[in-house]
Structure 1
């Protein structure tokens, strides 16, 4: 288990922020902005129990700890769940170990899909360093561990954005958004979406028909389909193909899609994202999808304005 700590030569500054940090000394303590009441699970918990917990609490990650000494053993993320659902190497758990039976695979132990090698911060890590590492790595979160490898907290890009939301920025959405994002049609199978998400590190994909945005398919939608139990009511054979062959329109969030305009200031966008509790906005210009702006995009851009 590796610990990422502050450089012995001093704080690692985000390029362009030297000498102009607006983070007060009062807020320089990483644990002050992190979640410290962290829910963790034992490695023997079933995958379905873990996914149900993640879905119920809207977690994107779930630390795995030793039930005796509470030391961190690994972590399961929403990406690991998508990976298991046809997105990547964890799909082998279903196809090989459980002969294509999703029901059987979901009852396997959660450590079967967990990542054991976890980069961690320490309570002494500065907020500036945490932001720098999050931006450099592209990770959505870092566990914070004590010297004995027990969990002190977890800091996410949402926590960072909440802290940075009052930063004033002249940047607009069109300057930081992903232009011409990858999209999917409503009739493509879920297997296509899970593969795209894992291969390109996406958490969501716009669903487009006849050049018009009709919905979003997110990793949370797919996890919620499993964790909320709907997958079992719609399953006849227990085969993973029954789920992976479903068209996107069956799972996507298609109502009340909140969108953004390209000329809006990013600090205003960050506050709206926090208000509505969502991780991304499709960007619409003249009625057409021209981009997507995410939580990570905002954290990266606002941090450079600190």
Structure 2
């Protein structure tokens, strides 16, 4: 007869439920934002200083009205070179992307990753009931993956 001396075993709880895999758990919430009337000079200065590649554009009522990126700023740089004007006095409203694709905070990061691949863009503003809550970037998704346990896949 073999006796077991392991004692009572406690069943492991399912950790998947406590494992955050939603966009809202991995998005950036302290955002640099711009106003449509900001100059491209100012945008370039801040993007360079903060080492970011783009940011949401909010109107006076804090509504999301666009996204401005390094690529958008490049348009003004090219225009300045063409017109031989060293200052980039163009406004954000002239160069921003106005038709912004957003994401809701309840989307899983796996669905978000699929959207990044499908649409080939680098960031999604996260919006709920018309209000900007944060932003999820491709980098945020990549940083989230190592923290997830294999059980959540």
**TM-score band, normalised by the shorter chain?**
0.7 to 0.9
Residue 127 of structure 2 corresponds to which residue in structure 1?
Answer: 284
Is structure 2 residue 53 aligned with structure 1 residue 215?
A: no
1:225 to partner: Cα distance: 4.5
Structure with more contact order per residue of length (Cα contacts < 8 Å, sep ≥ 6): 2
1:180 to partner: Cα distance: 3.9
TM-score normalised according to structure 2 size:
0.77
Q: State the alpha-carbon separation in 2 of the partners of residues 303 and 225 from structure 1.
A: 39
1:224 to partner: Cα distance: 4.3
2:110 to 262, 267, 270: 267
Is structure 2 residue 98 aligned with structure 1 residue 248?
A: no
TM-score normalised according to structure 1 size:
0.40
Q: State the alpha-carbon separation in 2 of the partners of residues 207 and 284 from structure 1.
A: 13
1:219 to partner: Cα distance: 0.7
Kept in 2, the 8 Å contact 1:187–1:249? The answer is yes
SS at match of 1:179: coil
Larger radius of gyration: 2
Q: List structure 1 runs of 4+ shifted beyond 3 angstroms.
A: 229-233
Residue 297 of structure 1 corresponds to which residue in structure 2?
Answer: 140
List aligned pairs for 1:44-63, cutoff 5 A: none
Instruction: Note closer, same or farther for the CA distance 1:225–1:274 as it changes in structure 2 (3 Å cut).
Output: farther
Kept in 2, the 8 Å contact 1:181–1:290? The answer is no
1:211 to partner: Cα distance: 1.0
Is structure 2 residue 38 aligned with structure 1 residue 192?
A: no
Q: State the alpha-carbon separation in 2 of the partners of residues 245 and 272 from structure 1.
A: 34
Kept in 2, the 8 Å contact 1:173–1:293? The answer is yes
